């Protein structure tokens, strides 16, 4: 096993595996088996939406990383559904001196080619952010030209309200809520204060 020295002695480099299934009806055994076969000594599995910014096992996996370790997953969409989420994850991993490895896409930031991929990814994330800002500004200018002002209405559609209330009411075997208000808000792409209004209406 490869070792790294921190000035106090040597410690082994670890492969930290992470998997995610989108719903509680799916099984994680396939991902777990592949991560085990890839040599992962620790494996963390989430059963949560890929759009959630906070996933308990995902955070635990990242917290377990040390310098020289490698964060391993089967596909890029297991760690994020947007360029921004992928870049944010890469930034967190690289901040501790660890690497990332996607088994299916052959992406490995411990190699020069893998590092180049994430540099390109960072450029796309910046471009994506600039495009969103530009479209927003164009929309506001068009609205002002028609005599209207303001931005996007922070209201949920009926089916989104129903989904939010169902998630909020869901309770696990331990008697605790499965989802926090912040997780539900992140899933629906609204602020927590906006979501609170709909949840409060449901309890009246």
Burial class (CB in 10 A: 0-12, 13-18, 19+), 42: middle
Q: Is residue 178 within 8 Å of residue 171, measured between CB atoms?
A: yes
List of E strands, the chain:
3-5, 10-12, 15-21, 42-47, 70-73, 99-102, 107-108
d(CA 34, CA 54): 24
Helix boundaries (H) for 12-111: 29-37, 56-64, 83-95
Burial class (CB in 10 A: 0-12, 13-18, 19+), 60: middle
Question: What residues are labeled active site?
Answer: 22
């Amino acid at each position: 096993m490869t070792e790294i020295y921190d000035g106090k002695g040597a410690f082994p480099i670890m492969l930290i595996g992470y998997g995610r299934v989108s719903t509680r009806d799916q099984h994680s055994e396939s991902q777990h088996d592949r991560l085990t076969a890839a040599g992962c000594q620790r494996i963390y599995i989430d059963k949560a939406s890929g759009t959630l910014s906070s996933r308990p096992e995902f955070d635990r996996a990242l917290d377990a990383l040390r310098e020289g370790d490698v964060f391993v997953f089967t596909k890029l969409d297991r760690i994020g559904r947007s360029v921004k989420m992928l870049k944010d994850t890469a930034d967190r991993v690289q901040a501790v001196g660890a690497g990332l490895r996607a088994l299916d896409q052959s992406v490995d930031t411990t190699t020069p080619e893998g590092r180049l991929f994430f540099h390109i990814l960072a450029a796309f994330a910046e471009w994506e952010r600039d495009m969103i800002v530009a479209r927003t500004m164009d929309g506001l200018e068009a609205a002002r030209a028609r005599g209207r002002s303001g931005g996007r209405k922070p209201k949920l559609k009926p089916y989104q309200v129903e989904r939010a209330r169902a998630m909020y009411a869901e309770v696990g075997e331990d008697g605790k809520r499965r989802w926090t208000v912040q997780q539900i808000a992140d899933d629906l792409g609204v602020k927590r204060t906006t979501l609170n209004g709909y949840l409060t209406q449901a309890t009246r």
